[in-house]
Amino acid sequence: MKKAQARKRFALLLYNKLFLISLIIVPNFINLSTREHQLKKNDSLKKLLFYIGFLLFALSNANAQKSSKINIEHSDNANIDQDEIPDALLLSGNVRVSHEGVIFTCNKAYFFQKENYLKAFGDVQMVQGDTLFLNSKYAEYNGEVKKAFATGNVVMRSTESTLVTDTINFDRNTQEAFYNSYGTITSKENILKSKSGRYFANEKKFKFLTAVTITNPKYVIKSNHLDYYTNSGHSYLFGPSTITGKDNFIYTEKGFYDTKKNVATLLRKSYIKYKDRRIEGDSLFYDRNREYASATNNVKITDSINKGIIKGHYAEIYRNLKTEKDSMMITKRAVAVTLIENDSMYIHGKKMLITGKPGERIVRAFNNVRFYKTDMSGKCDSIHSDQKKALTKLIGRPILWNFDNQMTGDIMHLIGNNKTEKLDSLKVLNNAFIISKDTIGTGYNQVKGMNLYGKFKDNKLSEVDIVKNTEVIYYLRNDNQELIGINKSVGSKINLILDKNTIETITVYNNPDGDIYPEAELPENARKLRGFVWRGDERIKSKDDIFPPEENELDAKIQAESKAALEKENVPMEPSKETLNYDKKKPKGEKKETKPKAAVK
């Protein structure tokens, strides 16, 4: 209503001015008497009538202006020059025009009324409400299709960010802007640089399909496909992408990163790499502020300092960058693999915990622990391994197989040498018992005593001493493997010399008491020492034997799911509810969703 009244007042004023001009100019032409003056008068009258007609037409059209027409609100000067700019109204000085909620200001403009088209020059600014400001040296605007073009030191500002580029196009219908001339976007937390990009004003989102870099004081993100939401700082990465920080390096081919909370969800071919450790998994979650990470399915953690690998299907890792004391929990077919010279030790437990500084790690494995090495394997309820002390304790009904020799006792300790990084010795405390099958017959060689002390040579058990209340039953054979007799003796100490998988010599010390019996003279019930239990069917003969059947079934299921997921077409992640509703007020008690879901095609 106010605009209509203003237009009427403007029309009346213009009519009055034009009328006064005609009263002053027309009589001067009438007073001319010569033919020459008469011709000049006629030409001047024609020009005057043209200007009056044009202005009256413009005025009447402005008075009946429709919402789809560009409206000229102000200009210090207005002119028409058919020679310079045909069919255009030339505006200069504090030009201000508007069109359906958008205001343009500039130093000079050409307005093509028929086309409803505007060309603006010098200090151009387009303002859309209080949310979008576009400044440039030059701009064009088509009122019919509501599309704008700006070039020359372009600066586009929203409430959350500022874009600086050379050229930009803006479609008011879709509220989208795009540029292909290198741009820099600055927000409170980040600086983004890209060769090209598209901005969705309604979603407050930048979309990049070419190389883009996000620089934050704590890290740098690089990708060739990235969606960045300026209000929330949420970034969605697709295709090979990296996040480089001071203390780690992240790679992913599909992921999400919250640049305000510093949390990430990584879903495809992803890993987190520290100077001494690399974390992989089908799905990773990472919290930079807490230095916490979790991994799900096909988890693999590589320790480059300790030459070890830990695998499983779920893991959680905490790192303390100040003290360097870390902690790790892994479960679901968990296994720790440690390189020992040219061999590897595999340890499995339903749950494994690793804590401490590099070089001072403590490894704990719980519930039905099993381990395997080429020349050694075993079982127990739990394991406690101290890297600094080079001491591994087998706790709870331990059993150890060294080649074909079965060893049992109440407590077992494996001691290493940190200098040589090899196994040094073995202790079996309380009820030590060694059993091995006779090489040919059905009998069993047996040695028992209170405690057992073994020595390793090149990571192989080479010598064993059994002390206190020792007993031995041993099948003696000649070079032709013919049975000579069965040695059954007792003593205070027994020494065994081993070569690979056989006992080479047995020596009984300190008043041995015993004899060598012909096979026929020693009854079957006398051929086994008290406490004899042969557990050969439990022996772990390969690294695959360390896993129980239910965990192998779980692994097969996860492998099938992972394979199927990789065979599906890879599509970008869909934005989470938190991203889409970031500016909306949340009801009290409602939890925020921080992990976006992958798109389903």
Q: CB of 109 within 8 A of CB of 121?
A: yes
474 in helix, strand or coil?
A: strand
According to DSSP, the residues that pair with 392 across neighbouring strands are 385, 414
According to DSSP, the residues that pair with 399 across neighbouring strands are 379, 408
pTM listed for this prediction: 0.78
What pLDDT score was predicted for residue 14?
45
DSSP tag of 160: S
- Amino acid sitting at position 499: D
Phi, psi values for residue 536, rounded to 5°: -60, -30
Q: CB of 44 within 8 A of CB of 26?
A: no
What pLDDT score was predicted for residue 500?
67
342 CB contacts (<8 Å, ≥6 apart)?
none
Distance CA 76, CA 509 (A): 120
Distance CA 379, CA 373 (A): 12
Distance CA 447, CA 589 (A): 68
Residue ranges, the chain, pLDDT below 70: 1-67, 500-501, 585-601
For 599, counting Cβ atoms within 10 Å of its Cβ (0-12 exposed, 13-18 middle, 19+ buried), the class is middle
Distance CA 8, CA 1 (A): 11
Q: Are strands 326-340 and 343-356 parallel, antiparallel or unpaired?
A: antiparallel
Nearest alpha-carbon partner for 496 in 435, 422, 437 = 435
Q: Tens digit of pLDDT for each residue in 515-561?
A: 899 999 999 999 999 999 999 999 999 999 999 999 999 999 999 99
What pLDDT score was predicted for residue 308?
87
Tell me how far the alpha carbon of residue 73 is from its chain's centroid. Answer: 52
According to DSSP, the residues that pair with 107 across neighbouring strands are none
Q: Tens digit of pLDDT for each residue in 244-253?
A: 999 899 999 9
Distance CA 101, CA 208 (A): 28
* Lookup: tokens for 592: 């925020």
Distance CA 463, CA 459 (A): 12
What pLDDT score was predicted for residue 401?
92
Tell me how far the alpha carbon of residue 26 is from its chain's centroid. Answer: 81
What pLDDT score was predicted for residue 227?
97
What pLDDT score was predicted for residue 27?
38
Nearest alpha-carbon partner for 303 in 252, 363, 243 = 363
Q: CB of 134 within 8 A of CB of 148?
A: yes
